[in-house]
Structure 1
Amino acid sequence: MRTFVAIEISNDDVKNAIKNFQKNLKIDAKSIDVEQLHFTLQFLGEISEELAQKVMESLQTIKFSEFTINLKGVGAFPKPRFPRVVWIGTDKEGGENLIELAKKVQNVLKPLGLISDKPFKPHITVFRIKKKIGDITKELNKQRLADFGIQKISSIKLKKSELTSNGPIYSDIEEVAAVK
């Protein structure tokens, strides 16, 4: 099964702000359904049921406290002149907390042979771009200071991703709650 460790965006006000951003950004790209928005702490790829069980056990050992992040700022990977993804970022402190949490995930999964292929950058993908659409720097600059609101981070999830012709379908496998 194709899997990843994520933090979901659950605040309805944040989701509505992102939906408005997606509607108003005039680019030729596929927007991500707001019900699927998340931070990918670590992509695991195809893993067996047996390994998934070990991943769940390892994730349950992670201890973290609840925290909040402010979703703000927009950008594109690899860059606005040749975009493949449009993303929303976070405030500095929230981003640092997410990086720390991603490191905890990476540290408990490393002994299982699951190593991240790139450093974690705090962002949520809001558009995927399949074809060349040209430079979107101007459009992004208009939204550069956009503030999408505050999201509470109170759990991480192991999620399964099924690829379909209409896009991926995500389902929860395991949830690890923050320490109260």
Structure 2
Amino acid sequence: MSKTRTFIAIGPSLDIVSQAERALLRLRRLADNVKWVQRDNLHWTLHFLGEIDDQELYDVCRAAERAAADLEPFSLEAKGVGAFPSPARPRTLWIGAGEGAERMEKLHLALEEQLQPLGFRGERRRFVPHLTLGRAGRSLRPAETSALSSELAKLTDFAAGNQVVDEITIFASRLRREGAEYAAVAHVHLAG
């Protein structure tokens, strides 16, 4: 039985994508050793599920429907550029969430509650809504780390736009030499 690498996410608005590209332009010139996310692959991850088969995919879609049934659409502000684990050690560069972040956390928890009976474990780390811009891992040179840290300090209040969150998407992900390729498998509307 074939398996599909799968995750649940929210697609960003065109306004947020445009602003993310502005942030990327400022950061990209500072570090060569970062794998930057392509415009079409930007997303707000809610849950990474890993490799699942067709029956599990069906069950995940039903779980997502149950999670979304009582939740109303909401406004989400994309604000601030930062890094995990910290700006001083930038391994993953991201745009954060301002207003609406708590609603995003509620959506994440509702999904987690519905996915756990299916055998999907929750994250050990606290969920922090973010839109990944790039991943450096441990490959940054000291000069790149310093330059990125300095620029991140200037971008803590970066206004990256707003969007209405009214659906979640289950994505299939295929890893390719050129980078990941995502395809929407199902859309689930917030119905509350």
Using structure 2 for the length normalisation, give the TM-score.
Answer: 0.87
- Which residue pairs with 2:118 in the alignment? 112
**SS of the residue aligned with 1:61?**
helix
**SS of the residue aligned with 1:65?**
coil
1:40 positional shift: 0.9
Unaligned stretches of 5+ residues in structure 1: none
Contact 2:78 2:162 in 1 (8 A): yes
Paired-residue identity, %: 31
1:81 positional shift: 2.4
Q: Distance in 1 between matches of 2:47 and 2:18?
A: 26
Aligned positions of 1:4-153 closer than 5 A: 4-9=7-12, 11-25=13-27, 26-28=29-31, 29-62=34-67, 63=69, 64-91=71-98, 93-118=99-124, 119-130=126-137, 131-133=139-141, 134-135=145-146, 136-153=148-165
Q: Distance in 2 between matches of 1:163 and 1:127?
A: 16
1:168 positional shift: 0.7
Contact 2:82 2:155 in 1 (8 A): no
Contact 1:154 1:177 in 2 (8 A): yes
**SS of the residue aligned with 1:87?**
strand
Q: Distance in 1 between matches of 2:30 and 2:51?
A: 32
Contact 1:159 1:170 in 2 (8 A): yes
CA deviations on 1:24-55 (whole Å, 9 max, x unpaired) are 22321232112211111111011111111111
Give runs of ≥4 in structure 1 deviating > 4 Å: none
Q: Which amino acid aligns with 2:127?
A: F
Q: Distance in 1 between matches of 2:97 and 2:161?
A: 10
Unaligned stretches of 5+ residues in structure 2: none
Contact 1:82 1:132 in 2 (8 A): no
Q: Distance in 2 between matches of 1:116 and 1:164?
A: 27
Q: Distance in 1 between matches of 2:83 and 2:180?
A: 21
